[in-house]
Amino acid sequence: MKTISTLTSLSILSCLFFLSCTKQPISVPQPVTRVQVLSVPFSTRGAYTFFSFKDSTSVTPLDSNSTKWDFAIRFTRIIVNSQASGPGNAGVIMQDGIFNSILTAPATGYSHDTTSTSLAIKDGSWYDYNPRTHAFIPKAGKVFIFRTANGTNYAKMQFLGVDYAPFTGPVPSTLLYKFEYTYQPGAGNSFQ
């Protein structure tokens, strides 16, 4: 009887040991999709407003000489954190298409800000301006695919609208950029 009890105990301990050694499923980071509103000063001069896909937030201008941001906006001018605009390895491809139909980021073909006048995103390439209403209207089907400043993550983004913040003076003080993006926090380039 004692032998059966000992064998049963050993069997249970062996099972517990083997169960504890089995591989646990590895958690793969899933892409994150968000809609964001970024407040940008209504000025063609002055500071840029910097944005980080990873942190889903604007970045202080004090961190503009870092890889903490991926792109920045001043009025309608957009820069990416690369070469002439920053120390990062960001790049961008502007692609015509439907946001939800773009499922992966390309491995190559990214543009960079090579000089202060030769930017990856050309001013006016992504919006139409209505001089009668003074509206900046994002062009339909323009999707930006970013390789982020760290050079290893990807995001896709589309502008949904550009509005003026409420104002009482002769000109607005703030533009509100509304955009949707999907950020891939893992090592892959899939947006699924």
> Could you tell me if residue 15 is inside a domain?
no
Q: What is the pLDDT of residue 4?
A: 54
> Could you tell me if residue 162 is inside a domain?
yes
The CA distance from 109 to 56, in Å, is 25
Q: What is the pLDDT of residue 111?
A: 98
DSSP single-letter state for residue 116: S
Range of the domain at 103: 29-184
Bridge partners for 90 per DSSP? none
- Residue-wise pLDDT for 99-141, tens only, equals 999 999 999 999 999 999 999 999 999 999 999 888 999 999 9
Residue identified by tokens 């003080």 is 173
Q: How many domains does the chain have?
A: 1
Average pLDDT, the chain: 90
- Pick the most confident of 4-18, 101-115, 168-182: 101-115
> Could you tell me if residue 191 is inside a domain?
no
> Could you tell me if residue 190 is inside a domain?
no
The CA distance from 107 to 120, in Å, is 17
Residue 16 pLDDT > 60: no
Q: What is the pLDDT of residue 125?
A: 95
Predicted TM-score of the model (pTM)? 0.84
- Residue-wise pLDDT for 48-107, tens only, equals 999 999 999 999 999 999 999 999 999 999 999 999 999 999 999 999 999 999 999 999
28 band by pLDDT with thresholds 50, 70 and 90? confident
The CA distance from 128 to 140, in Å, is 10
* Apex 116 CA angle, 72 and 83, nearest 5: 75
Residue 39 pLDDT > 70: yes
